[in-house]
Amino acid sequence: MFRSALTIFRKDLLIEFRNRYALGGIVLYVLSSVLVIYFSLNYNDSIRDMSPVIWSIFFWLIILFSSINAIANGFFREPPGRSYYYYYIASPQAVIASKLIYNFVFTVFLILLAFIVFAVVVGDPVQNLPLFLTTALLGGTGYSFLFTLMGAIASRAGNNATLIAVLGFPIIIPILIFVTRLSASCMAATGADPDMMKNLLLLAAFNVMELLLAYILFPYIWRE
Amino acid sequence: MELLHATNRQPPMINLFKQQWWKYVAAIILLYVLIGGMLVPLGPGLRSIAPVNFTTDSTVDFVVTGYNTHFQDAGDLQVWFKPATGVDFYAADSIIPIINSTARVIFHVPTADLGGEPNKNFDLVLNDRLDGTLVMTFATVAKAGSHTDSTAARLKPVTPEIVNAHSKQFVFPFREILFQSIRNTFFHVPMWFTMMFLVIFSLVYSIRYLRTGDLADDVMASQAISAALLFGALGLSTGMMWATYTWGSPWPNDPKLHGAAVGVIIYLAYIVLRGSLTDEIQRARISAVYNIFAIVIFMLFIFIIPRLTASLHPGNGGNPAFSKYDLDSHLRLFFYPAVIGWTMLGFWILSVLVRIRLLQLKKSSQ
């Protein structure tokens, strides 16, 4: 199963690099959303007194919108006939595993990209970089797993782009709460947040639960 | 052909759904709850005290106003003032019941009793034979007066002698902030319970559908969500009404409210998802998958997220759970039937929805 998952993952990656428009589009998406936030804050003279909480909320909202776009594309891109081919060569578990890995890598890439752009343009209030990277990793996992599953569901409903937002936004809120709280505590100047460990564990537990649900439920979505 | 076969099969609950007796039971229970819950009077309580602020070393004439109290009829009204942060009780100097709901209370506080503080909060404690013990916390504030008499005798703590601690009548408890709106306990809370039961019922049938592929199970699951959404809307509207009169705004910033709102939106998305899938079999399967996913998030919102932050609701953020002392034995007599009654009504509505849908499927497959 792992071998075929890796093969599909490698194929997806290859397609992404061959057809650089999609990748470039998402990178540009991140850049322009950061700029939109930067200008809207800057021309209201509020960028100086932006609190760490507001910073992290803006940051994770940009990640939310760009990853939902990127991941929705991941399922939409496949031509309709291609899935029949997959039925022959791979188990549904292998397909979902490849999609999860691919979207995870992609989302973490997006988070790091957005972080660099944010740090340069808006400012970098992060004090505790290891914690921020852990949050980015766990948050990226949460975002990518959830949106992969929702993308798979939406792809069955005629690739409706509204649908993935309708399905995805309400259920991403728990993750959004955890990651914004965690990144706000990365930026606290004084000491460690007592709730930090609890939030990290809850986020990790949430990701494990998503993984289990994806593993169990994806075959039902995949079957025609 | 497969569709025809699948819809002709009867879901296992349908026989119960077609029976009448439990619908009569539901109607009787709900009538009992509606009539009893509205007619039982609210118990005695303290409404106000005037003046709220007074100066030390002067005799103050307070007017205490009660609600459904029997100050005059009881004939044995006792009044104490208790420092809000202390444990001592100080008896009032004299007590004159004017009418059943109003009494004059004379009291004074020597400056020395403030213990050097600029002011001191007092709770008001009343007791009489008929009303039991009534408490108003942080009722009055004693402020140090301009002239101080250090020789004045200090207050002497007394041990209250209480004949009867609880109201003798059959009443609902009088609670500050809630007042008469305590009756909403028989509507708001059971409506959310009903939504939870229907959502869990739907989850069970979604899992069944994934195992059996029987479209009748999908009908059960999807119609249960419709009924649950109805009760979610009822729970939200009764909650908003309640919050307007108790917390001062229809939508206070409260994590439980956010969870409820997200829950309703998640299940509205379920309806949208079903609407955008055209193939019957695929619609049933995909929406069952989403339903399983949705309930996990919903439970997370109802049970875990509210415990992370402070909440106005009982049982969260340090507030006592309503089973502790918000629900007294008289409320329970109506609350538990209300839960059963509203739940049965929910399943009654569900049974009608399911039967309509099954007939529609049967007709379309003929």
Cβ proximity of B54 and B143 under 8 Å: yes
**Is residue B175's pLDDT more than 50?**
yes
Give per-residue pLDDT as tens, A51-107: 777 888 888 999 998 888 887 766 666 676 777 777 777 788 888 888 888 889 989
Whole-angstrom distance, CA of residue A60 vs CA of residue A180: 7
Superfamily of domain B45-143: Immunoglobulins (2.60.40.10)
Choose between B202 and A7: higher pLDDT.
B202
**Is residue B321's pLDDT more than 60?**
no
Domain ranges of chain A: 2-222
Choose between B225 and B5: higher pLDDT.
B225
Contact A174 B301 (CB under 8 A): yes
Q: Tokens at residue B79, please?
A: 């009044």
Contact A206 B282 (CB under 8 A): no
Give per-residue pLDDT as tens, B9-26: 666 677 888 888 999 999
Contact A170 B265 (CB under 8 A): yes
> Closest to A221 (Cβ–Cβ): which among B289, B294, B297?
B289
Whole-angstrom distance, CA of residue B238 vs CA of residue B241: 5
- CB contact B135 to A (< 8 Å): no
Listed residue (B123, B56, B53, B61) closest to B87, CA to CA: B123
Report CA-CA distances (Å) from B319 to B43, B256, B310, B311, B362. 23, 13, 9, 8, 51
Choose between B289 and B314: higher pLDDT.
B289
* Highest mean pLDDT out of B27-41, B86-100, B352-366: B27-41
Chain B residues whose beta carbon lies within 8 Å of the beta carbon of residue A173: 262, 301
Neighbouring residues of B154: CB distance < 8 A, sequence distance ≥ 6: B110, B112, B113
Whole-angstrom distance, CA of residue A81 vs CA of residue B63: 84
Neighbouring residues of A34: CB distance < 8 A, sequence distance ≥ 6: A62, A114, A117, A118, A121, A122
**Is residue A224's pLDDT more than 80?**
no
Query: Stretch A127-152: mean pLDDT, rounded?
Result: 88
Return the minimum-mean-pLDDT range out of A184-188, A208-212, B81-85, B188-192.
A184-188
Listed residue (A209, A210, A202) closest to A178, CA to CA: A202
Identify the pLDDT of residue A47. 67
Query: Stretch B307-312: mean pLDDT, rounded?
Result: 64
Contact B273 A163 (CB under 8 A): yes
Listed residue (A173, A137, A211, A199) closest to A64, CA to CA: A173
Chain A residues whose beta carbon lies within 8 Å of the beta carbon of residue B304: 202
- The H-or-E segment that residue B178 falls in is none
Q: Tokens at residue A70, please?
A: 């990127």
Neighbouring residues of A30: CB distance < 8 A, sequence distance ≥ 6: A62, A66, A110, A113, A114, A117
E-state strands within chain B: 45-50, 53-55, 60-67, 78-83, 90-91, 94-99, 102-107, 119-128, 132-143
How distant is the alpha carbon of residue B121 from its chain centre? 29
Query: Stretch B348-364: mean pLDDT, rounded?
Result: 91
> Closest to B273 (Cβ–Cβ): which among A157, A217, A220?
A157
Q: What percent of chain B has pLDDT over 70?
A: 89
Identify the pLDDT of residue B75. 82
Identify the pLDDT of residue B1. 38
Identify the pLDDT of residue A89. 77
Chain A residues whose beta carbon lies within 8 Å of the beta carbon of residue B272: 163, 166
**Is residue B326's pLDDT more than 90?**
no
Domain ranges of chain B: 2-41+178-365, 45-143
Cβ proximity of A186 and A132 under 8 Å: yes
Identify the pLDDT of residue B137. 83
**Is residue A118's pLDDT more than 80?**
yes
